[in-house]
């Protein structure tokens, strides 16, 4: 079993009386974000170690609870150990820790004791010295039994420092903090202003996972600009999703009624809204919703392409546009199902409408469909060849 332990003791540096764990981050509190990361890694139980209770903390804990994950407040290692089996794996997050799901997943995936460390004492992730070379970088993996060991210490111990000491004495593996994890926003922050900056860094790391040229140069920058504003204004995650759905229906309908250029332009706007919604879902620790939105993106692109082909078939009286649209969609579907790692130049669901829209607006939709079919088929051939090389 995997469990989580989050420290929520320190006060915010720029908001006296307010715990750093309850500061806003990505449209929620930092504590809620941490709980969602742990839940995404498979934690079934999350404990929040506190020194004092505040109304904001209680509210954050209540909001963070979700089906399949219990969130409980504890005041000591003794309370925490009583709630866990001896051999339970426990992923520990430091007070004020900002990180990403890839870091949490890496630390949670192995067995045995481990400490995430940095050899740079001036790093924004460096918290406490472990030896002459390494400092703790905010994440530890321990066992339920080790929490029980801390519970036997004198009452005046510092919970977090004692946990580190026990892990070091047990020969915990030192896992180096990588440059990519730092670039993704991994750090420890105790001020609202710093958390706002780190929130943007985490957003950048989440949106950069979309690797195709269309996402990297068009849709990802849009999501990166939109999300901080949405979260700052408290706009719910369903809003960009609803906007994308409405614009998607409108774009497909316009293309079907013969307004092909306008319809494809509206479809591009729908894709921008959906990509933003997917990034928001990833930020809030809801990978299932993000994956569902990605599926919706492909469905919208496929429908818009097929409707464009059908509209051209009706206008010209020939089957060529419909066949080209079908080939483009079928080839892209096979690419999506391929296990090959996508390359930057490959076709993608977001690339096809970018290719089709200029031709449709210029009245050359058939040429655009032909180019899209060739592009998707060439990508499929490259994916097949990549799979053969791996085999």
Give the side-chain half-sphere CA count within 13 A for 139.
27
Ranges for all domains in the chain classified under CATH 1.20.120.1760 = 210-390
pLDDT of amino acid 363: 93
CATH architecture of 2-194: Alpha-Beta Complex (3.90)
pLDDT of amino acid 386: 80
Output the DSSP codes for 261-319: HHHHHHHHHHHHHHHHHHHHHHHTT-HHHHHHHHHHHHHHHHHHHHHHHHHHHHHHS-S
Tokens of 57: 């903390």
Output the DSSP codes for 109-171: SS-S-EEEEES-TTSTT--EE-SSS-EEEEEEEEEHHHHHHHHTS-TT--HHHHHHHHHHHTT
Q: Kindly report the average pLDDT of the chain as a whole number.
A: 88
Ranges for all domains in the chain classified under CATH 3.90.550.10 = 2-194
In sequence order, the β-bridge partners of residue 115 are: 140, 174
Banded model confidence at residue 3, pLDDT cuts 50, 70, 90: very high
Q: How far apart are CA 127 and CA 116, in angstroms?
A: 11
What is the Rg, in whole angstroms, of the alpha carbon atoms belonging to the chain?
Answer: 25
Q: What digits encode the pLDDT tens for the residues 285-294?
A: 677 788 899 9
pTM of the model: 0.68
Structural contact between residues 107 and 125, judged by C-beta atoms closer than 8 angstroms: no
Q: Is the model's pLDDT at 211 over the cut of 70? A: no
What percentage of the chain has pLDDT greater than the value 70?
93
Mean pLDDT over residues 118-125, rounded?
91
pLDDT of amino acid 287: 72
Lowest-confidence range among 120-129, 157-166, 315-324? 157-166
- The more confidently predicted of residues 329 and 290 is 329
pLDDT of amino acid 47: 95
Nearest alpha carbon to residue 71 among 91, 92, 95, 48: 48
Banded model confidence at residue 390, pLDDT cuts 50, 70, 90: low
Mean pLDDT over residues 263-267, rounded?
96
Structural contact between residues 60 and 21, judged by C-beta atoms closer than 8 angstroms: yes
pLDDT of amino acid 207: 62
Tokens of 1: 């079993």
- The more confidently predicted of residues 93 and 24 is 93
86-90, 143-147, 350-354: which has the highest mean pLDDT? 350-354
pLDDT of amino acid 173: 92
> What is the CATH number assigned to the segment(s) 210-390?
1.20.120.1760
Q: CA-CA distances (angstroms) from residue 284 to 225, 231, 236, 245?
A: 17, 11, 11, 20
pLDDT of amino acid 138: 93
Crossing angle for the helix pair 287-316 and 365-390, nearest 10 degrees?
Answer: 140
pLDDT of amino acid 389: 62
The number of helices, as runs of H, and strands, as runs of E, in the chain is: 16, 12
Q: What digits encode the pLDDT tens for the residues 337-388?
A: 887 777 889 999 999 999 999 999 999 999 999 999 999 999 999 988 887 6
pLDDT of amino acid 230: 77
Q: How far apart are CA 378 and CA 384, in angstroms?
A: 10
- The more confidently predicted of residues 150 and 243 is 243
């Amino acid at each position: 079993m995997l469990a989580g332990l989050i420290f929520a003791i320190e006060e915010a540096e720029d908001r006296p009386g307010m715990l750093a764990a309850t500061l806003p981050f990505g449209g929620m509190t930092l504590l809620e974000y941490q709980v969602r990361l742990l839940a995404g890694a498979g934690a079934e139980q999350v404990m929040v170690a506190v020194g004092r209770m505040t109304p904001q903390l209680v509210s954050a804990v209540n909001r963070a609870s979700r089906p399949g994950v219990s969130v409980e407040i504890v005041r000591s290692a003794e309370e925490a150990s009583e709630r866990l089996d001896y051999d339970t794996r426990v992923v520990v997050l430091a007070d004020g820790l900002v990180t990403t799901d890839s870091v949490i997943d890496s630390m949670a995936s192995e067995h045995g004791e481990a400490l995430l460390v940095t050899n740079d004492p001036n790093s924004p992730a460096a918290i406490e010295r472990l030896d002459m070379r390494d400092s703790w970088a905010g994440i530890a993996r321990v066992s339920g039994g080790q929490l029980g060991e801390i519970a036997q210490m004198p009452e005046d111990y510092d919970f977090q420092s004692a946990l580190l000491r026990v892990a070091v004495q047990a020969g915990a593996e030192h896992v180096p903090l990588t440059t990519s994890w730092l670039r993704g926003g991994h750090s420890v922050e105790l001020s609202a202003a710093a958390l706002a900056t780190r929130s943007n860094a985490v957003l950048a790391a989440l949106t950069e996972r979309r690797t195709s040229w269309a996402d990297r140069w068009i849709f990802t920058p849009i999501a990166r600009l939109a999300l901080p504003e949405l979260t700052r204004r408290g706009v719910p995650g369903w809003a960009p999703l609803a906007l994308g759905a409405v614009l998607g229906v409108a774009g497909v309908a316009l293309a079907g009624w013969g307004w092909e250029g306008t319809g494809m332009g509206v479809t591009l706007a729908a894709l921008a809204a959906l990509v933003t919604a997917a990034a928001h879902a990833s930020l809030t620790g809801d990978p299932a919703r993000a994956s569902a939105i990605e599926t919706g993106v492909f469905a919208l692109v496929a429908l818009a392409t097929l409707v464009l082909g059908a509209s051209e078939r009706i206008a010209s009286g020939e089957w060529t546009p419909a066949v080209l649209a079908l080939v483009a969609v079928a080839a892209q579907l096979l690419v999506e199902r391929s296990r090959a790692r996508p390359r930057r130049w490959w076709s993608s669901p977001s690339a096809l409408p970018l290719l089709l829209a200029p031709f449709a607006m210029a009245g050359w939709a058939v040429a655009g469909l032909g180019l899209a079919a060739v592009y998707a088929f060439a990508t499929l051939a490259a994916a097949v060849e990549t799979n053969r090389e791996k085999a």
